[in-house]
Chains A and B, each alone.
Chain A
Amino acid sequence: MMTAFLNIEYSDLYCWFSDLFDYLLQLKFDRNLMVQYSMIIAGFISITIPIALGIVSTHTSEYKDKEISNSFLREFTYRYQVYFVLPIIYVSIGMLALQIETGWLIYLLMFADLFSIVVFILFIRIVQQYATNFDDYYSRKLKKEVDEIIQG
C-alpha cells in the first residue's frame, strides 16, 4: 500500500485534492446534512463515554481509594461532556420537528459540533493519560495543587 501511494503521480494527487475542494465548496449547510453529522458526532461521543469509563476504572480501582477512583468523574472534559453533547441532540431534534431549513440555528449546530469535537479530543487525551500513565498524571495534578497552596 505504501509503495502504491508513493508511486502516485503528482497530477493525480492534485486532482484528488482539487476534487475534494470543489466538493467542499459545493457543500450546502442545509438542515439534513447538519443534523446527520451532528447525530453521528453525538452518537459517537455518547458511545465512547462508557467505554472510556470502563477503561479508566480498571486503572484507578487498583489504588483502592474512593477519591482516586472518582477522580476521573471530576475531570472537566468528562464532567461537562454531556452538557456539550445534549444541545446538539436537542437542536437537531428541534430542527427536524419544527422543520427549520435554514437560519442561524444551523450555524449554532455547526459551532456546537466543532466545540464538542474539540472537547472530545481533549477528553480522549485524558482517557489516554489515565489508561497509559495514570499514576504520573494524577500525582502531578495532586502535587500542583499542593504547590499552589504552599506558595502562600
Chain B
Amino acid sequence: MKLFRVKQKDKLEILIDNLEKIGKIAAIRIEKDYTDPVIEDLKWIEDSFIKILKLYNTNKNLFFKLIDPNNRYRVIQREPVDWENFTFPGFGEVQFVDETQPQQRTYEKLYKVYNNPGNEKDLILRFISSIFNIWNAANQKENFLVQKYSLYVLTNWIYILDPLKDDDFNYQGVLGYFLDNLTNLNVSTLNTDDQKIHPLSSLLNYNIYLNRIFSDEVNQDNIDLYFEYLFRNLYQALRLQKPAIVKSFIERCIDSTYYPSNSANYTTLYTLLLDKLREHEQGDYATLLKKLPQLAGYTIRYINNFEQLAKWAEEFDAYLNDEIFDKIEPDADIEQQIKQIKRLALKTLKFNKLQIVVIKLLAFSLFKSDQTLLNHALEYNQPGDSNAFQGNKEILPTSLLELLNIIKHRYNIEHELFTYWEGHHGVEFYLDQLFMILLYRYRPQKMYYNEDPRQTAIGFSRDALGDVPGAIDGMDQYITRLSAMFDKLVEMEPYKSNYFPNADKVVRTKVLFTEMHAGFISVMNNIEIRGNIKEATRTGFISGIISEYEKYNFLLRLYQKYATDPNVPEGLEFEIIGVNELMDRTAFVENWHIPYVGFIEGRGKDIAEQENRNGQFEIIRKIPAENNIKINGHEVIDILNKYSDGSHIIIVRNIHLDSILRDEEKYKPNWKNDTLEVVIPDFHIGYFDEAPVFRLYDNLFHDSLLIIEKSSIINGVSQTGEINPPFELNGSFKTSFIDLSVNGPNLEEMSANPPIWLAEEFKDRADELRLYLQKKVWIRILKKTGFQVKVDAKCYLYEIKG
C-alpha cells in the first residue's frame, strides 16, 4: 500500500511550505516580467497574514498553533505569591524537584532549533521571507512596482500589528520581530558598493517609523520601539557609507510639522479659566492660576519619556480637578484646550526623542570624521534675529533651553550609543565634541527676547531639573568640564580649524560657558541657603546617631549592671561626650544626596567608643603596677582559670578567644549555649567557668585581658544636665539642630562671636563669614558620663607580648 500512501503534514507545515513555494513562484514570475500576478500574490499573502491574526478572536488554539508554536510570544500569567502567608522552608527542608513535562521543556526545543535552524517552524518568518524573496527578485529585475508593493505589505502588517494589545500575547514582540527583519532588508539594500541610493531607501530607513511615530493613532507603547529602529536603520546608513540617506532624513524632519510650535495653548487656557472664575466670583484668581503656566507651559518642554509624561499628566489633572474644577464647571472650550495641551505634551515628547536620535547620529558621524552631516543640519538653523518666531523648524536644538535639555540626557545618549558604537569606545568624547560645536554655533535669540544664558540656566534648573540640587550640581559640573575641554580644543588641531575657526565666536562661547556656570552656581547658592530641610530629616539624623550609640555603649551598661551603689557616687567626675559641629545644610536639603548616612553610623559609634574608653580608663587608673603584667599568648588559659570563680569580670580586648579556648571545657560561649544568660548583648560573649567574659575590639588598646572584681565597681552615670531651648531631650542626650540660614539670634551670635577656628579661617575675609554660616546647620548632641570604681579596687591588666 506504499504506492497510495502520501506523507501527511500538519497544518503549520503546509502553510510554511506553501508560502515558501508561492514566494518562489512569484520570484520566477518576476523574472518573466509578470507583474500583475505577483501583485495579486502579494495581496493574497498580505490578506492571509491578517486572516491569521484575526484567528485570535475566533479560534485561539489554531492561532497559537500557527503563529506561536514555540511559545515565544505567549504571555504566561503567573499567580501572585501571597507573601503575607508565605512561610519560607528551613534550609534542610528544601528539595529540588523537576516538574517539567518532556513536552514543556522549551529550552530543549530551542536548543535543538538553535542547532538546526532550518527545522524551526516559524510562520511569521516565512511570511516575511516570502515577501523578501519577491523583493529580492524584483530588486534584481529592477521592478520598482513590485518592490514598492512588497514594502507596502510589510508596512501594512506593521500598521495592523501596532494597535494590537493583549494580556496573553506579546504583540509588541511580533512587531519588534517585523522591524528587526525590515532592518535586515534595509541593510541588504545599503550594503552595496554602488553609491546609488535605492529608490525605497527613504521608506525603509525612516519614513515607516516617522509616519507611525507622528501619527495620531499610534500605539504609545510602541513609540520607543519605533524610535529605536529609526535610529538603528539610520545608523546602518551611516555605517555603510550612505550619509545621503541621513541628510534626506534631516530634510524630511525640517520640512515636517513635528516641531511642537503651538506652545501658546496654555495662555488660552489661562484666559478661559480666568474668565470663568471671574464669572463665578471665585476668590483670588491669580493665586489659583499661579501653577498653570508652569504645569501647562514650561514643564512640557522637558518631557522626554513616557514616565515623565504620565507623571506630568497626573499632576496636571490633579491640579485642575482639585484646585480649579471644584470651583467652576469646565465648558467645552476649556476641555478642548486641555486636550490640546495634552496633545502638545505628547508631541513635544516625540520631538525631543527625535532630536536625541539626530544627536546620536551626528555624534556617530563625527566619530566617522564626517562633519558635512552636522553642517548640513546646522544650515537650517535660523539666525538669532530671525523673525520666524515659534515657526522655527530646526531639528537641531537652537535655543539654549533645548540644548541644555539635550545635554541633560547625555548619560542616556551615551548608554544607547554604546550598544551600537563600533569598538564601544570614545562615545563620551565625540558627544562632548558635538555639544561643544552646538554651543559654539549657538546663536542666541535677540529678536523677540534677549536670551540671557545666566537666566536660562536658572530657568532650566527650575523647570527641567525641578530645583533638585544633585541634578543642578551634576549639570554644572558637566558644563564646567565641557568648558575646560573647550579651552583645550580651541588651541588644538584639527579641532581648531575644523570645528572652531572663528576667534570671536570662541570668545563668545567661553563667555557662554561662564555665564551658564554662574547661573547654576547662583541656583545652588540659593538652594544652599533656602533649600527646605524636612523635619523628618532633622529628627532622623539625630535619632540615627543616638540609636547607633546605643548599640555600642557597653561599659556604661556594664557599670550599671554590676553597680554596688545605685545612687550617684560622691565625687564622681563627669566627662562631656557627643557632637558639636557646623555641617553643610545642603546635606539635609530635600532631594540632595543621601544625608550623611556614613556619618550617622560612624559618629554614633565614635561617641560610644569614647564613653567605653572612659569606662576602661577608670579601671586602668586603679591598677597597681604589680597587677599590670605581660604574658605570652598560651598563658591566657592559666589567667582565666585564676579568675574563674565568678567573683570577677573578664574583659577581653582584641583577642579572639574561641580559637584559643576551642578545646577548653570550662569555656562556654553564648553562641553554643542558648540557655545561658546574656548579660549585655554583643558585648558579653560567654562564661569561663563561672566568670562572665566580655569582648571589645578597640585599636587604642593592646591585645589584653582587663579583669576586675565585681564588688569593686561602684556605678556608671549618664546625665544630660539642664535642658533649655533650643535643646531638647532625645534618648539619653540633649540635642539641638539649628538652621543658621534662618536669620535669628543664633546666626547673629555666631557671626559676632565665631569659634576660634572659624575666626582664624575667616580672619582675612570677615565679610564672607555670614554667608558661610548661612549655608550651615549647627548640630549638638551632648551628654555627660561618669564612671567610678573603688579606690582599693582589685583589678588586673594582662597584656599579651608581641
Contacts and interface: CB of A to CB of B under 8 A. Distances in A.
Nearest to A152: B59
A129 B48 CA distance: 25
B11 interface: yes
Contact of A142 (B6, B11, B22): B22
Contacts of A143: 18, 22, 44
Given A145-B14, A149-B11, A152-B58, A138 B19 contact: no
Given A152-B55, A152-B58, A135 B25 contact: yes
B378 interface: no
Contact of A67 (B21, B26, B29): B21
Interface in A108-152: 135-136, 138-139, 142-143, 145-147, 149-150, 152
Contacts of A63: 21, 24-25, 28
A137 to B, nearest CB: 10
A28 interface: no
Contact of A145 (B18, B24, B34, B41): B18
Nearest to B32: A135
Most chain A beta-carbon contacts within 10 A, residue among B25, B48, B58 = B25
Interface residues of B, number: 26
A139 B41 CA distance: 9
A3 to B, nearest CB: 42
Contacts of A139: 21-22, 25-26, 37, 41
B437 interface: no
Given A63-B28, A149-B11, A142 B62 contact: no
Contact of B15 (A62, A65, A135, A146): A146
Contact of B48 (A62, A67, A135, A150): A150
Nearest to B51: A150
A150 B44 CA distance: 12
Contacts of A149: 11, 14-15, 66
Most chain B beta-carbon contacts within 10 A, residue among A74, A143, A146 = A146
Contacts of B66: 149
Contact of B62 (A68, A136, A152): A152
Nearest to A82: B3
Interface residues of A, number: 19
A65 B58 contact: no
Nearest to A142: B18
Interface in A63-118: 63-65, 67-68, 74
A68 B21 contact: yes
Interface in B142-196: none
Nearest to B52: A150
Given A62-B28, A135-B28, A149-B11, A67 B17 contact: yes
A147 B22 CA distance: 13
A145 B26 CA distance: 17
Contact of B21 (A65, A150, A152): A65
A131 to B, nearest CB: 15
A74 B5 CA distance: 11
A95 B48 CA distance: 56
Contacts of B21: 63, 65, 67-68, 138-139, 142
A138 B25 contact: yes
Contacts of A150: 15, 48, 51-52, 55
A82 to B, nearest CB: 9
Contacts of B25: 63, 68, 135, 138-139, 142
Interface in B554-613: none
Interface string A42-64: 00000000000000000000111
A150 B15 CA distance: 9
A145 B22 CA distance: 12
Contacts of B52: 150
B14 A135 contact: no
Interface in B14-64: 14-15, 17-19, 21-22, 24-26, 28-29, 34, 37, 41, 44, 48, 51-52, 55, 58-59, 62
B48 A146 contact: yes
B687 to A, nearest CB: 81
A152 B62 CA distance: 7
Given A63-B24, A68-B24, A74 B15 contact: no
Contacts of A67: 17, 21
Contact of A65 (B24, B41, B48): B24
A146 B44 CA distance: 10
Nearest to B11: A149
Contacts of B6: 74
A146 B14 contact: yes
Interface string B622-658: 0000000000000000000000000000000000000
Contacts of A74: 6
Contacts of B62: 152
A135 B29 contact: yes
B37 A135 contact: yes
Interface in A15-57: none
A144 B52 CA distance: 15
A74 to B, nearest CB: 7
A86 B26 CA distance: 39
A83 B12 CA distance: 32
B551 to A, nearest CB: 70
Contacts of B41: 139
Interface in B195-216: none
4 smallest beta-carbon distances between A and B, as pairs: A152-B59, A142-B18, A150-B51, A149-B11
21 contacts: A62-B28, A63-B21, A63-B24, A65-B21, A67-B17, A68-B24, A68-B25, A135-B34, A136-B37, A139-B22, A139-B26, A139-B41, A142-B18, A142-B22, A143-B22, A143-B44, A146-B19, A147-B48, A150-B15, A150-B48, A150-B52
Interface of B: 6, 11, 14-15, 17-19, 21-22, 24-26, 28-29, 34, 37, 41, 44, 48, 51-52, 55, 58-59, 62, 66
Given A65-B21, A74-B6, A150-B15, 12 more contacts: A64-B24, A65-B24, A135-B25, A135-B28, A135-B29, A136-B37, A139-B22, A139-B25, A145-B18, A146-B14, A146-B15, A147-B48
